[in-house]
Amino acid sequence: MHEIILCKLGEVVLKGLNRHSFESKLMSNIRRRTARYGRFLIYSRQSTVYVEPRDENCDLAGAYGVCRQVFGVIAVARAMPCEKTPEAIFDNARTYLGEALSGAKSFKVETRRADKTFPMGSIQLSQWVGGALHDAFPHLAVDVHHPELTVHIEVREDAAYVHAPSEPAAGGLPVGMGGRAVSLLSGGIDSPVASWMIAKRGVQLEMIHFASPPYTSQPAREKVIELARELVPWTGRLNVHIIPFTEIQEEIRRACPEDHFTLIMRRFMMRLADRLAQELHCRALVTGECLGQVASQTMDALRVTGDVTELPVLRPLIGTDKEEIVRLARHIGTFETSILPYEDCCTVFTPRHPQTHPRVEEVREMEQTLDVEGLCQRAMDGRESILLK
Ligand code: ATP
Ligand code: MG
């Protein structure tokens, strides 16, 4: 018999009547993500998704790793099936969890019995296997309240299973269930983290990036694609839409007051993201903005940049500190790439004294001299989309 993977569902189980669609979305995400590690049978029972190898060629460790990164799963465990007798179950626990049992100081056994025809009750089976394990590992104390190790037994129709201790997984909600949004991805630390946080809440993202060649380089552009690629194990497939931004920036520099460069540039970013959202049926924008972090992220500045779109702008980092963001970036796996020293289009033409308390009416007025529509249209026409799987 083969070892299998158990994925414990998180909040999904709280969703009442929608639960079925949440579960099937989660299962299809797990199916797609594990496919590269072999052929697996995937099904759900009692708040758990089972990932079962169909043949010898499956890479279970690989599949286990990806299951930990699928949003909607709060914990994962490996389990070993065996024959449905108390002796076989004990023997399975003793060998399969031998190392964990030897290393622990206290333990308990917990049984779930889906097969009601099994001759022993759950408590009775737990006690029987617990007693036998205690004899086999005499150093172990039984502690039903705070055991260091819980040995899980499940008795099902086809077999009995012994679970290894579970490990925490990604949590959140299955991607795709929360609709779609356009996420503004720069090469910085913040926007990949913001994207990850919104994907974690079940949102399918379309990534948009603004590049200003020759002011921004090819390596800077590749860095952003790499960041998106590092998000894929969490989010599933991602599109990165790269928008040429040079003409817009040069026009702003030519026609607008220097202290408003960054703000007007950010307004163009929001306009273009809004257009992409309309085109791709996305219902929100996502940014890595954080209150007070830079001049363009004061409340007044956010009012000005948010002015050009009617879509909700999701800013999951708004109340976080840099330290917290860095910790998350490391956990996600984007930090090392983010700190590579390439320029972003935000860092070209930066004003010496940026306006921190801009007024919407004034900024609208300044833009009167620009051909906003033409600039946006040409930028959208010049875009390039890259699909990452
Ligand atoms: P980050 O670390 O995400 O770059 P930041 O603190 O450097 O953020 P800004 O440079 O002011 O802040 O950018 C604010 C937000 O605007 C970013 O988090 C990102 O969502 C978006 N943004 C900035 N530059 C770009 C870009 N070149 N392409 C796409 N989005 C961008
Ligand atoms: Mg930045």
146 and 253: one domain? no
Nearest CA to ligand 1 atom 18: 288
Per-residue pLDDT reduced to its tens digit, 280-304:
999 999 999 999 888 889 999 999 9
CATH number at residue 209: 3.40.50.620
Residue in 182, 183, 190 to alter for ligand 1 test, most ligand atoms within 8 A of Cβ: 190
Proximal ligand: closest to the CA of 293: 1
Nearest CA to ligand 1 atom 25: 186
Please give the pLDDT value at position 327.
98
114 and 252: one domain? no
Proximal ligand: closest to the CA of 296: 1
Report how far residue 164's alpha carbon sits from residue 143's, in angstroms, rounded to the nearest whole number. 18
253 and 307: one domain? yes
Check: CB of residue 192 under 8 Å from CB of residue 332. Answer: yes
Proximal ligand: closest to the CA of 290: 1
Q: Which residues of 94-119 are buried (b: 16+ CB within 10 A; e: fewer)?
A: bebbeeebeebebbbbbbbbeeeebe
Please give the pLDDT value at position 15.
62
214 and 362: one domain? yes
Whether residue 175 lies inside any domain: the answer is: no
| Whether residue 348 has its Cβ less than 6 Å from ligand 1 | no
95 and 150: one domain? yes
User: How many CA atoms within 13 Å lie on the side-chain side of 133?
Assistant: 37
Cα three-residue angle 285-20-67, rounded to 5 degrees: 70
Whether residue 174 lies inside any domain: the answer is: no
Which parts of the chain register pLDDT below 70? 12-17
Please give the pLDDT value at position 20.
84
Residue in 186, 239, 328 to alter for ligand 1 test, most ligand atoms within 8 A of Cβ: 186
6, burial (CB in 10 Å: exposed 0-12, middle 13-18, buried 19+): buried
Report how far residue 77's alpha carbon sits from residue 58's, in angstroms, rounded to the nearest whole number. 17
Distance 188 CA to ligand 2 centre (A): 5
237 and 307: one domain? yes
Which of 168, 188, 221 is at the close of a domain?
168
270 and 384: one domain? yes
Distance 205 CA to ligand 2 centre (A): 19
Total number of domains constituting the chain? 2
123 and 195: one domain? no
Nearest CA to ligand 1 atom 10: 346
Neighbours of 362 (CB within 10 A): 13
Report how far residue 36's alpha carbon sits from residue 389's, in angstroms, rounded to the nearest whole number. 11
- Beta-strand ranges (E) seen in 122-275 are 141-142, 149-155, 160-163, 167-168, 180-184, 204-211, 238-244
| Whether residue 188 has its Cβ less than 6 Å from ligand 1 | yes
Helix (H) or strand (E) run with residue 49 in it: strand 48-53
| Whether residue 23 has its Cβ less than 6 Å from ligand 1 | no
Please give the pLDDT value at position 14.
61
Please give the pLDDT value at position 170.
96
CATH number at residue 67: 3.30.2130.30
| Whether residue 142 has its Cβ less than 6 Å from ligand 1 | no
| Whether residue 289 has its Cβ less than 6 Å from ligand 1 | yes
Query: Residues near 288 by Cβ (< 8 Å), separated by ≥ 6?
Result: 184, 186, 188, 189, 190, 191, 192, 193, 194, 195, 315, 317
Domain that holds residue 319: 180-388
Which of 106, 134, 168 is at the close of a domain?
168
Q: How many residues does the chain have?
A: 389
Nearest CA to ligand 1 atom 7: 188
- DSSP character string of 90-151: HHHHHHHTHHHHHH-SEEEEEEEE--TTSSS-HHHHHHHHHHHHHHHSTTPEE-SSS-SEEE
In the structure encoding, which two tokens stand for residue 151, read together? 């040995």
